[in-house]
Amino acid sequence: MLVKWIRCTVVDRRGFERGQRKWAGLLGEPGFRAQGGGWSRGRQDVAHIFSFWESRAFYDSFMARSHDRLASSQAGTFKNAQVRLFDHRFDVKTGFEPRFTDADLIRVALCRVHEERAEHFVLMQEKVWNPAMAGSPGMVRGLFGEAPGNEYLILSMWRAAAEHGKYRTERVERLALRAQTEADVAALAGDLVDMESAWTV
């Protein structure tokens, strides 16, 4: 499965939200699985969109054919779009399905990892972070993705912000020490995203 993450700064909120509903046109596309997103909790003008495709080939075909037509309705409503593609490596918890209806919050983390530490980093995700997140009440599902250049995406869906907050305060520091995260990670960026149900396709 291919995961696409778009982060952009919105300059016309109403126009952007109107345009976002037009992406319902994705539903007939071969290989399309789902799309959803929402607003950053930290920066009111930042929107995040996540879309899921069965494979890179299906996605490339869509980009060549239908993408520009669907995107045209949002032209001029945002700037600084950053687009990243990741291959799904494994699930956080089990049986990841790209569904958004039962989650209120998405936590997204982008890690750039030192090349010589990449193997260790992936192993720690599986052995330390995954079980801890999977065991947290309120964590619905998640995935771990990989992009060229030792970049990794950790995406987790939560029923509510309060439940993610509890997990953070109780566990994160201890887990980071155990997983030697500081030694692995060269750069870390992330955000908390309040889901907008109207954007779900």
Question: What are the per-10-residue average pLDDT scores of the chain (201 residues)?
Answer: 98 97 95 98 96 98 95 95 97 89 95 97 94 89 96 95 82 88 94 96 96
Residue-level pLDDT at 74: 95
Residue-level pLDDT at 108: 97
Residue-level pLDDT at 133: 87
CA–CA separation, 41 and 62 (whole Å) = 31
Q: What is the pLDDT of residues 85-129, one digit of tens each?
A: 999 999 998 789 999 999 999 999 999 999 999 999 999 999 999
Question: What CATH code is assigned to 2-199?
Answer: 3.30.70.100
Residue-level pLDDT at 72: 94
| Burial of residue 28, with CB atoms counted within 10 A of its CB: 0-12 exposed, 13-18 middle, 19 or more buried | exposed
Angle CA(153)–CA(9)–CA(61) in degrees, nearest 5?
Answer: 60
Residue-level pLDDT at 114: 97
